[in-house]
Amino acid sequence: MGLTSQSTGAGVLTGKLNIKVSQPTDKIVALAGNPNVGKSTVFNSLTGLKQHTGNWPGKTVTNAQGRCRYKDCDFILVDVPGTYSLSANSAEEEVARDFICFGNHDVVVVVADATCLERNLNLVLQILEINQNVVVCLNLIDEAERKQIHIDTKKLSRLLGVPVIPTSARSGKGIKNLIDAVYRVANQRIKPSSLKITYDPVIEQAVALIENRLSKILCGSPFTRWIALKLLECDNKVFDLVKDNLGVNLYEDKQLLLNLDKAISVLAQNDIHPDEVKDIIVSNLISSCEDIYNQTVTVNAKNYNKLDRKIDAVLTSRVFGIPVMLILLGLIFWITIEGANIPSALLSDFLFWIEAKLSEFFMWLNSPVWLHDVLVLGVYRTLAWVVSVMLPPMAIFFPLFTLLEDLGYLPRVAFNLDNYFKKCNACGKQALTMCMGFGCNAAGVIGCRIINSPRERLIAVLTNNFMPCNGRFPTLIALISMFFAVFPLRSVVSTLLLLGIILLGMVLTFATSKLLSKTILKGVPSSFTLELPPYRKPQVGKIIIRSIFDRTIFVLGRAVSVAAPAGLVIWLLANIHVNDISLLAYCAAFLDPFARLIGMDGYILLAFILGFPANELVIPIIIMSYAAEGSMIELSSLAELKNLLVSNGWTWLTALCVMIFTLMHWPCGTTCLTIKKETGSIKWTALAVIIPTAIGLLLCFILATAARLLGLA
Amino acid sequence: MIDQGYIPLSSLPIGRTARVKKLNCSGLLRRRLLDLGIIKDTVIEALAKSPSGDPTAYNIRGAVIALRSEEAGRILVLPYREEV
């Protein structure tokens, strides 16, 4: 789910691109392109890095950097977020535009989708307008051939005046040619002489007036033409851009402003209003794209997208659209629940076998009892529980989810659900950020950058926590399996319950979004454009292996970095006694009366509080608290865990309340920090904590009270 | 406008194709539509509606783009005749 240390680390949140150059001879290569053209795949095959890829626009919202070496040259590759144009309509596009314009790179590789070249040429031409050192990477060429789209790359290269390299990054085809072309451009073996677009004669006349003056002020900067065009479009942001990046304040140049006025009056004499300049420039640009496209591309099969349309006719149809979505989600849940049982049991047998060996080892060392207890019963046991409960469901769920993602299904979900989001005055792309939330809410919160309107983005940030993440999802599965799975329809019942919980999360997302739009985040829905990319055949084997590997690393990493230290702290709390009562028991006793009101007990609520660093910890803390209080139990299966819980007074109501509270309480520490960074405000972060917590408390209270009044529990 | 046979893109029936004649909007939305390649005489085909009737997916220069009725309503188009 795009969840790497890069995408959740602190460094990515600064907005600007910081390039780490280790030697002055390093060549910087920017990788630009429309969203969803396989830029990340090209990046991965060039660098061997494992940037997560997915078939939906906006996957790369933060930038990855990687290195690669070719011949005698070291390249630093920068994966720039996808953008359709350089006019920068959203925060993330602005980052891309700034880097492409002023990023101080040696070569720009523009990745274009061969199956949809006309649309991609728009960005190619805009980049060529600024930069000469460009290589066009015509990706997905095999896909295009399959659809019988033939592209005359030689002619395209001649028309554009830069190298055009057909590639199929997924299979690695053409990647060597690509890096070779980059090498030659970077070392000036080829001098590209890129196409200059000639605009309407009146526009050209006006541009000339400004450009002359600009090239004097900016000492022959390559951007003068582009800046002149922006000035004519009355895009006033360009003043700041020039000031920030080239250190020249254009407002101070009287002559330039005079020339600008003159240029505008030339336009006015020809009946061109400043508002229309942009239209004319874009129209010229798009006509050029159309012209180049018509000269270089032949499509043999007229209905090359027929299959996609047929699939869409089912997946987004009025009758089947929503049911298919729920069935697919349910199917994934079912496979996860059904499949996780056996590896979970095996893993826990294995890890507790190691625990026994560790204990023997400590005895053999003659180490003090307290040391053994701290390290083995505290640190190791927590770690073992986190790994055995969390890992199997995640290692099954994520590859399946990634398959859907790779296929291109997720944008269809956004398409299907957009109307509901619109009714809540929010954005359909929120559906995509919710999907990312499944992986990690912190990643989901960062992903909200794909939403253009700041108001809608804030709504998406504040509600992301309603999607159970990596750390909470397996807790839900474990609780369902223990308390609600009744034979003979065990897995079906579990699946439906899990689906119910997720739907509850979705309903609350909608309700909260609506509430926010009507109160503190008032506003009307902004404009919405969403690309539905072509379906692609997922590389099943590769995804499954990659995704299992990623998840394993992720879960293990979290277990070691968070669960192990937390295990230590909790063991100490449970075993340091004051007046024969442990600190843990003191705290739990304090919380108990309140916790009873919401259907839980003091230990459970304390576990949620202590689980703030990571939600994975909640169940291990509960186990350790109970185990430390009572006799030590060997916990090697869910059935034994259930016995422990039941003997501590758990009923179905407790389990249900814990599940609801798992879905709805404060976001974990990392997510809170991320929200603070993304919104830049303590106030919004506090709200992101308060909203789900309040709803969770309220629901649990109602449920517990109702069940008790009705005598059900 | 009506007598010229222009209709808003949002009224274009599914499966029909039309030619863009006018963008009835300004500012950010206009820029965004232009960036999608929607200019005068661009050919657009209405492909499918979302389950709840809105947004609608359009084929714009080979890309499938979903637009809400609010945005599509600002694009005035001249539908092709039935046989095309």
List the single residue in A279, A418, A534 with the smallest CB-CB distance to B50: A418
User: What mean pLDDT is predicted for residues A329-358?
Assistant: 86
A532:B26 CB<8 A: no
Is B66 within 8 Å of B59 (Cβ atoms)? no
With 0-12 / 13-18 / 19 or more C-beta atoms within 10 angstroms meaning exposed / middle / buried, residue B27 is: exposed
List the single residue in B36, B55, B63 with the smallest CB-CB distance to A418: B55
Band the pLDDT of A563: cuts 50, 70, 90.
confident
A289:B37 CB<8 A: yes
Is A161 within 8 Å of A193 (Cβ atoms)? yes
Q: Which residues of A touch B63 (CB under 8 A)?
A: 116, 119, 531
User: What mean pLDDT is predicted for residues A124-140?
Assistant: 89
What distance in Å separates the CA atoms of residue A666 and residue A683, rounded to the nearest whole number? 14
Nearest residue on chain A to B54, alpha-carbon basis = A419
Band the pLDDT of A503: cuts 50, 70, 90.
very high
Interface check A533 vs B, CB under 8 A: yes
Nearest residue to A95 via CA among A169, A14, A213: A14
Give me the CATH code for the B2-79 domain, please: 2.30.30.90
List the single residue in B26, B42, B57 with the smallest CB-CB distance to A415: B57
> At a CB cut-off of 8 Å and minimum separation 6, what does A484 contact?
A493, A494, A497, A652, A655
**If you search the block for the tokens 């809170």, which residue do you land on?**
A672
Nearest residue on chain A to B23, alpha-carbon basis = A279
- Digit-coded pLDDT (tens) for A620-639: 888 878 876 654 455 566 77
- Chain A 471-530, residues with CB within 8 Å of chain B CB atoms: 525, 527-530
What distance in Å separates the CA atoms of residue A452 and residue A212, rounded to the nearest whole number? 36
Q: How far is B83 from chain A (nearest CA, A)?
A: 16
What distance in Å separates the CA atoms of residue A426 and residue A445, rounded to the nearest whole number? 15
A527:B29 CB<8 A: yes
pLDDT on residue A9:
31
> At a CB cut-off of 8 Å and minimum separation 6, what does A522 contact?
none
**If you search the block for the tokens 């012209």, which residue do you land on?**
A291
User: What mean pLDDT is predicted for residues B38-65?
Assistant: 90
List the single residue in A119, A287, A289 with the smallest CB-CB distance to B63: A119
Q: By a Cβ cutoff of 8 Å, what residues of chain B touch chain A?
A: 23, 26, 28-37, 39-40, 42, 47-55, 57, 59-68, 70-71
Size of interface A-B (CB pairs under 8 A): 125
A286:B68 CB<8 A: no
Nearest residue on chain A to B29, alpha-carbon basis = A527
Q: Express as a percent the part of chain A with pLDDT over 90.
A: 20
Nearest residue to A82 via CA among A70, A90, A73: A90
Q: Which residues of A touch B36 (CB under 8 A)?
A: 84, 119, 529
DSSP per-residue codes, A550-602: HHHHHHHHHIIIIIHHHHHHHHHHHH-EETTEEHHHHHHHHHHHHHHHTT--H
Band the pLDDT of A89: cuts 50, 70, 90.
low
Q: How far is CA A163 from CA A82, A108, A138, A177, A683, in A?
A: 21, 11, 10, 10, 51
DSSP per-residue codes, A171-232: TTBTHHHHHHHHHHHHTTSS----------HHHHHHHHHHHHHHHHHTTS-TTHHHHHHHHH
Could you tell me whether strands A581-582 and B63-67 are parallel, antiparallel, or unpaired per DSSP bridges? Answer: unpaired
- Chain A 261-280, residues with CB within 8 Å of chain B CB atoms: 275, 278-279
Q: Which residues of A touch B42 (CB under 8 A)?
A: 286
pLDDT on residue A167:
92
List the single residue in B47, B61, B68 with the smallest CB-CB distance to A528: B68
User: What mean pLDDT is predicted for residues A88-94?
Assistant: 68
Q: How far is A58 from chain B (nearest CA, A)?
A: 14
Q: How far is A116 from chain B (nearest CA, A)?
A: 6
List the single residue in B36, B40, B57 with the smallest CB-CB distance to A532: B57
List the single residue in B62, B66, B68 with the smallest CB-CB distance to A119: B62
What distance in Å separates the CA atoms of residue B22 and residue B30, rounded to the nearest whole number? 11
> Considering only A223-227, A300-304, A481-485, A488-492, which range has the smallest mean pLDDT?
A300-304
Per-domain residue ranges for chain B? Answer: 2-79
Q: How far is B39 from chain A (nearest CA, A)?
A: 6
In this structure, is the dihedral angle defined by the CA atoms of residues A577, A582, A584 and A588, taken in order, positive or negative? negative
A321:B26 CB<8 A: no
Q: Which residues of A touch B26 (CB under 8 A)?
A: 275
Interface check A122 vs B, CB under 8 A: yes
DSSP-based helix, strand, coil % in chain B, nearest 5: 25, 35, 40
Query: Computed over its alpha carbons, how large is the radius of gyration of chain A?
Result: 29
Q: Which two tokens stand for residue A544?
A: 């499954």
B57:A317 CB<8 A: no
- Digit-coded pLDDT (tens) for A439-498: 788 888 888 877 878 899 999 999 999 999 878 888 898 888 888 876 667 778 888 888
3-state secondary structure of B37: coil
What distance in Å separates the CA atoms of residue A227 and residue A404, rounded to the nearest whole number? 43
pLDDT on residue A108:
92
B32:A89 CB<8 A: yes
Mutate to test the interface with B, among A409, A415, A418, A432 (most CBs of B within 10 A): A415
**If you search the block for the tokens 């789209």, which residue do you land on?**
A149
Mutate to test the interface with B, among A94, A419, A510 (most CBs of B within 10 A): A419
Q: What is the largest CA-CA distance in chain A?
A: 97
Which amino acid makes up residue A336? T
List the single residue in A84, A321, A525 with the smallest CB-CB distance to B35: A84
Q: Which two tokens stand for residue A248?
A: 């020249």
B63:A87 CB<8 A: no
A77 sits in which H/E element? strand A73-79
B55:A419 CB<8 A: yes
User: What mean pLDDT is predicted for residues B55-60?
Assistant: 92
List the single residue in A118, A319, A530 with the smallest CB-CB distance to B61: A118
**The complex's ipTM?**
0.91
- Chain A 291-320, residues with CB within 8 Å of chain B CB atoms: 305, 308-309, 312-313, 316-319
B68:A283 CB<8 A: no
Q: Which residues of B touch A87 (CB under 8 A)?
A: 31, 35
DSSP-based helix, strand, coil % in chain A, nearest 5: 65, 5, 25
pLDDT on residue A12:
34
The residue with greater pLDDT, A535 or A136, is A136
DSSP tag of A150:
E
User: What mean pLDDT is predicted for residues A341-348?
Assistant: 82
Band the pLDDT of A7: cuts 50, 70, 90.
very low
B34:A89 CB<8 A: no
Nearest residue on chain A to B35, alpha-carbon basis = A85
Is A316 within 8 Å of B57 (Cβ atoms)? yes
Which domains are seen in chain A, by residue range? 5-186 (3.40.50.300), 201-298 (1.10.287), 321-525+539-709 (no CATH)
- Digit-coded pLDDT (tens) for A630-680: 544 555 667 778 888 888 888 889 999 999 999 999 998 888 988 998 888
Residue A132 pLDDT > 60: yes
Nearest residue on chain B to A233, alpha-carbon basis = B31
Is A578 within 8 Å of A586 (Cβ atoms)? yes
Across A81-95, A407-421, A574-588, which has the greatest mean pLDDT?
Answer: A407-421
pLDDT on residue B80:
86
B62:A428 CB<8 A: no
DSSP tag of A168:
B
